[in-house]
Amino acid sequence: MKFLFCIILSVFAMGMTAGHPHTGSKKDKEPEMNKYINNLIRQMTVEEKIGQLNLISIDGSVMTGPVTESATGERIAKGEVGALLNIMSPPKIRELQDAAVKNSRLGIPLLFGMDVIHGYNTVFPISLGLSATWNPESIEKAARISAIEASAQGVCWTFSPMVDISYDARWGRVAEGNGEDPYLSSEITKAYIRGYQGDLTQNDQIMACVKHFALYGAPEAGKDYNTVDMSRMRMFNEYFPPFEAAVKAGVGSIMTAFNDVEGVPAAANEWLLKDILQQRWSFNGLIVSDWDAVREMTVHGIGDLQEVSARALNAGLDMDMASQGLSGTLKKSLAEGKVKISDIDNACRRVLEAKYKLGLFNNPYKYCDTTRVSTDIFTAAHREEARRIAAESFVLLKNDKELLPLGKKGTIAVIGPLADNKPNMLGTWSFGANLYSPVSILEGLQQQVGNHVTILHAKGSNLTYDKELEDRVSLNWGTLYKHFDRDNRTDEQLEAEALEIAGRADVIVAVMGEAAEMAGEGASRTNLDIPDAQKDLLKKLKATGKPVVLLLCAGRPMTLTWENENIDAILNIWFPGTEAGLAVADVLFGDKEPEGRLTMTFPRSVGQVPMRYNYRQTGRPPHADGRIVPYVTGYIDETHLPLYHFGYGLGYTSFKYGEVMLDKKEIDAKGTVTASIEITNTGNRSGSEVVQLYIRDIVGTVTRPLKELKGFKKIRLEAGERKVVSFTIDAEMLKFYNNRLEHIFEPGEFEVMIGANSNSVSSSIFRLL
Ligand code: BGC
């Protein structure tokens, strides 16, 4: 009776709709949210609750007529939809929101999600490139601009950041991640979340979604979506840290992975979702599946749609992206006792809380301010940041005889299928951008050199010889992108033109590498070379005897052994985004220097992957100098060493590192050691350096990595200037998960290493008592 009275009272108070929550102080926000949502849930039918768990995809352009007359409009009005993704039209978003707010019984607003991964209209370098800046501030800025642009067009939820650790360059999705190191990736993850979410009270901040929980970056044989299997100790030490960092940073939502973990697909894995996320890390945000992943569990072979949907809900999944398994089956499962109403309520509550935290109950049209479309998108200021950050992400891999920077003089032949290609500059996942908005490399160089330089251009080759591969790869994103711009001329004609202009030039700039669609989702490769058509051309360019600069476009570490031996200078520019050509010109001509450092190890050959710097010691370690020795960890036909180490990258000046100095040789668990090193700019121009701190736990109760990144500082030094860089080390930084999953440090000796990359360090030892 008392219960009924409460319901009547609250329904009365809310006027039978979602109503407007009060905006209170931070302290009373949470109880107020709970009260508001409890009231709402009490009014909801089972169907409406299940509807909130339904994230659907429709192509906005398909609905040419009014939303209300469409099937989607009807479903929204019936309360069968909680959120939509990938609607690219702001007016359509407003109409859909109208349908929810005005035509559904309780007027609950919708969430609008989108893969805003490395920019929206203004596109930044692919995420792997962003990570190469080693600059969380720049990454926060890129995320902030992405949020401004996306929110101006109705998007309030981005499916980013992707923080899957991966050591496997075959896996195409490394393009979307932060590289191989858990510490660096955690720092970057926090930066993305600060940039996207801020405090969420503003209409230009959006909810982030960290993904893909978990282990998605470790598929067997590097095949996307493949089975994963590993020890829990490894999960905790290597794959979970960026996710835990995201939770601590207050990320609003988490997306589950496609793969299974210990035999249970992530979307129905109770250990991952409840034990780890909710209990161990106290995550109380929204858990969403990946695209169609609920239905795909039927294909994994763990039950029919009703069974897998019930399992997902029971495991802690809140929202089903695209498969409509939950919306189609949960009512039946409830009637049959396979799920509990309390679990449906909890999932529904988390969807509603996300909407509440975004302020959508207060103002469902918060993200529908159409005036912002003309002021906040692709602005000069955003593009300027994209140019700056792109330049910051470039990694100089080789620079023989200081060929770079180029002088603004003479004749430059700019050759290669990526030299004057705009769509490829955007890289994977750049839905929001105009394909032809980027400044091509050729255009950028032309704009920057004025009349002092003659620039010649030839395409030289197609991206590959393999038209079938190109067609197959294009199927991934089909009509969206036009990356393989095949030429009508024959290979011979293309090559002849390139060699003719090369003959007239003082220097050749070859712009080559992968097409954007050769990296990213569903784009695993077994061959990490520059495609043959381009490599053959590169060999002929080399044979001209002219100096050659290779500008490499890549979405992953590539095998560049031949290039490293034969090409004078190699600048890795990833997929640099909207301002590609201008950023390249800045660095090529030395107005800026290359500041990027690798965040993934570059192998010498594909047979070496998965490959990483922080591997654990074995009983038969390889020879440190890379020599091939029998009966140790390694190969008989290739060194165990990579081509370019984690953390590697050159600048236009040179630095000399002194010795690591420790202020103490022993500390107890409450103490700290300060490790310092003197760095001198020994070149004749100013330059920046990423000073990297690695630590090795020399003896442990379990085998420990040979080194682990524990800190980094980006410094700038004028020519001749020296600086002492210090890091403070405490016991917390020495913690790891043992095989009982205890997060501990162990007394003993630790080696502190500081240097310019993971392979070039000086070191000293201290003892933890
Ligand atoms: C990807 C996710 C993405 C989702 C929605 C999936 O195929 O794995 O990363 O967020 O699609 O577009």
The Å distance, Cα 342 to ligand 1 centre, comes to: 29
d(CA 569, CA 161): 32
- Residues facing 690 on adjacent strands: 714
Q: What is the largest CA-CA distance in the chain?
A: 93
pTM: 0.96
- Average pLDDT for runs of 10 along the chain of length 769: 35 49 62 96 98 89 71 95 94 95 98 98 98 98 98 97 98 98 98 95 96 98 97 98 98 98 98 98 98 98 98 98 97 98 98 98 95 95 98 98 96 98 94 92 95 95 93 70 85 98 98 96 97 98 98 98 98 98 98 98 98 96 93 96 98 98 97 98 97 98 98 98 98 98 98 98 98
Nearest ligand 1 atom to the CA of 159 is: 10
User: Which residue's CA is the closest to the ligand 1 atom numbered 5?
Assistant: 291
Q: Which amino acid is at 84?
A: L
d(CA 610, CA 615): 11
Q: What is the pLDDT of residue 1?
A: 34
Pick the CATH number of 392-608 from 3.40.50.1700, 3.40.50.300, 3.40.50.2300, 3.40.50.12280: 3.40.50.1700
d(CA 42, CA 262): 38
Ligand 1 within 6 A of CB of 170 = no
- Tell me where in the chain the CATH 2.60.40.10 domain(s) lie: 655-768
Average pLDDT, the chain: 94
Reference 588, options 378, 396, 321, 348; nearest CA is 396
Nearest ligand 1 atom to the CA of 211 is: 9
d(CA 502, CA 545): 10
341-395 pLDDT, tens digit each: 999 999 999 999 999 999 999 999 999 998 999 999 999 999 999 999 999 999 9
- Residues facing 265 on adjacent strands: 260
Q: Which residues does the annotation mark as catalytic?
A: 290
Q: Is 260 helix (H, G, I), strand (E, B) or coil?
A: strand
Q: What is the pLDDT of residue 28?
A: 63
The Å distance, Cα 436 to ligand 1 centre, comes to: 24
Pocket test for ligand 1, best of 291, 292, 296 (most atoms within 8 A of CB): 291
The Å distance, Cα 136 to ligand 1 centre, comes to: 24
The Å distance, Cα 290 to ligand 1 centre, comes to: 6
Show the beta-strand stretches assigned E in 530-577: 548-553, 569-572
Pick the CATH number of 655-768 from 3.40.109.10, 3.50.4.10, 2.60.40.10, 2.60.40.1180: 2.60.40.10
Q: Taking each helix axis from N to C terminus, what angle separates 241-248 and 182-197, rounded to the nearest 10 degrees? A: 30
Q: What is the pLDDT of residue 22?
A: 56
Q: What is the pLDDT of residue 116?
A: 98
d(CA 752, CA 565): 33
Q: What is the pLDDT of residue 474?
A: 80
Burial class of residue 274 (count of CB atoms within 10 Å of its CB; 0-12, 13-18, 19+): middle
* Total count of residues recorded for the chain: 769
Pocket test for ligand 1, best of 59, 88, 159 (most atoms within 8 A of CB): 159
- Tell me where in the chain the CATH 3.40.50.1700 domain(s) lie: 392-608
Q: Is 58 helix (H, G, I), strand (E, B) or coil?
A: coil
Ligand 1 within 6 A of CB of 290 = yes
**Backbone torsions φ then ψ of 106, nearest 5 degrees:** -105, 0
